[in-house]
Amino acid sequence: MKLVKVFLLLFFISSLGIAQQKLLEEAFIRASNEGFSGVVLVADQGKILFEKASGMRSYESNTPLQKDDIFEMASVSKQFTAMMIMLCKEKGLLDFDDPVSNYLKIPYKGISIRHLLTHTSGLPDYQAIMDEHWDKSKIAGNPEILEYLRIYAPPILFKPGERYEYSNTGYVLLGSIVEKVSGKDFVVLSKEWIFEPLGMKNTAIRSLDEKSKVRNFAAGHLKDENGNYVNANRFRASDYTLWLGNRKGPGRVSSTAQDLLKWDQALYTNKLISSKTLEEAFSPYRLKDGTRSYYGFGWDIEPKSPFGKMVKHNGDNPGYQTIIVRFIEENKTIIILNNNAHPAMMRLVEAATLSFGRK
């Protein structure tokens, strides 16, 4: 009798899991029918539960998307920049509370590396400055961005540590600090310190020319005036990816869903840094007024999700939307890479979360 009860219980649990996964399957089919183009990967304890691709690698050549295609990560890249800073810290090259002015010449005082990591620096938007003043027939990188910050010195938005305001400028400075303290190129060092040790063979910080030579690079797409998807590079909104094509820190990592899962799982180990240092990345920042800002080092933080503490980050480039969600107390992961700016992405995140069931 006990054996029968155990069998029935196992059958119930199995059926429940199938039903929950069906929710995600149905949500994915619905999104695909609505035109979603991208890859969805869901894992539990590092084991892939769901991995599917839908849509087109290139609409113009009518090339179907594959699960191992490479996408632009956009601001999901920031977690790798933050990791580079943490690696520098563990190598004794810097401390998080060091003044940025110790390493870079900038026209702003009282900003620490921690302020840059947590988006609490108050720095103005570098892209607005470059858009107004830069000669767009040339390609700018971090040295040029820093030079224009010094030349035009737009006012700081608020005193460092007073509040949170998302800052791409801060992550440009972080990339430059890594180069300053290491004496090496940020692109080369990211490969040497992160991508190669973790076996992320399809991940790199690629130039536009390098991307064009990657066979399975999923182009970003937007709709033209006729409602047809075309390469996002045709639109004015994408121009900055050309004339700011050498920037390092706030974006430009390109990767696959499988490589992001390798990255995710490595963060449960000491392969890169100690758990003590990593915990700082997943901790809120206390502002000057005593309140907390729930952005750590390259991660948005949600202390109480359906599965305990959650950290996540999304990215948004012309034609691309990306997200990685990590329920770090339960080792559950959601990765969605989209290359036609489709509105179904967050709906898929919700369906993927429901597919895990409840605690």
Helix, strand, coil percentages, rounded to 5, for the chain: 40, 20, 40
Which residues lie closer than 8 Å to 197 by C-beta, 6 or more apart? 271, 272
Q: What is the pLDDT of residue 41?
A: 98
Q: What is the pLDDT of residue 20?
A: 64
- The proportion of the chain whose per-residue pLDDT surpasses 70, expressed as a percent, equals 93
- The proportion of the chain whose per-residue pLDDT surpasses 90, expressed as a percent, equals 87
| 117 within 8 A of 194, measured Cβ to Cβ | no
Closest CA to 335 of 255, 222, 253: 255
Reply yes or no on whether 137 is catalytic: no
In this model, does residue 359 exceed pLDDT 80? no
Residue of 32, 37, 54, 75 marked catalytic: 75
Which residues lie closer than 8 Å to 349 by C-beta, 6 or more apart? 323, 325, 334, 336
Mean of all residue pLDDT scores within the chain = 92
Q: What is the mean pLDDT of residues 215-237?
A: 90
Q: What is the pLDDT of residue 239?
A: 82
Q: What is the mean pLDDT of residues 189-201?
A: 98
Which residues lie closer than 8 Å to 90 by C-beta, 6 or more apart? 273, 274, 277
Q: Provide φ and ψ at 58, rounded to 5°.
A: -145, 115
For residue 242, what pLDDT band results from cuts at 50, 70 and 90? Answer: confident
Query: Residue ranges per domain, the chain?
Result: 24-355
The fold of the 24-355 domain, in CATH, is: Beta-lactamase (3.40.710)
Closest CA to 289 of 166, 167, 165, 161: 161
- Per the confidence metrics, is the pTM higher than 0.75? yes
Amino acid at 242: L
Reported as a single tens digit per residue, the pLDDT across 57-68 is 999 999 999 999
Reported as a single tens digit per residue, the pLDDT across 279-330 is 999 999 999 999 999 999 999 999 999 899 999 999 999 999 999 999 999 9
Q: At what angle do helices 168-182 and 126-133 cross, to 10 degrees?
A: 90
What gap in Å lies between CA 85 and CA 158, rounded to an integer? 24
For residue 4, what pLDDT band results from cuts at 50, 70 and 90? Answer: very low
For residue 19, what pLDDT band results from cuts at 50, 70 and 90? Answer: low
Residue 320, classified by CB atoms within 10 Å of its CB into exposed (0-12), middle (13-18) or buried (19+), is buried
What gap in Å lies between CA 241 and CA 171, rounded to an integer? 16
Reported as a single tens digit per residue, the pLDDT across 47-98 is 999 999 999 999 999 999 999 999 999 999 999 999 999 999 999 999 999 9
